[in-house]
Structure 1
Amino acid sequence: VLAVMALQQVDGWFIVPKVMGKTVKLHPIAVLLAIVIGGELFGLIGILLGVPVAAFIRLLIIRYMGDLFNGEET
């Protein structure tokens, strides 16, 4: 029982955020924060939608504010 619990904790805190972060191109810490903040604000629905919302916010920032980081002036 303890071994299963330990493996589940390792999976939940390290493996899943790393894999999910690569999939949606977010840092693993950003994935964990999105899940925790979403869960705190909106419960189970927030946990399920936290990472997709964070990825969408990242996409908006890159798309509409990306020029600020490239140093190009129009």
Structure 2
Amino acid sequence: MTSAKNAEYPPDSDHEPPARWLVEAQNLRLKRLKRLKRLKRLKRLKRVTRGIGSTAAAAQTRFTGL
């Protein structure tokens, strides 16, 4: 697994990882933060839409809330 990854991203030197890895790690962190924020927002909306009987209506308000 690691050999395939090394072939994909050749290291700049033996000691420091390629800059691409740092960028990917940053992107993952951002994605995780965005997902958490979205989930929090959805939870807030779900509370509001729980009174509506149909799940379709709840789903619709959930998606329009994004």
TM-score in terms of structure 2 length: 0.34
Q: Which has the higher helix share?
A: 1
TM-score in terms of structure 1 length: 0.32
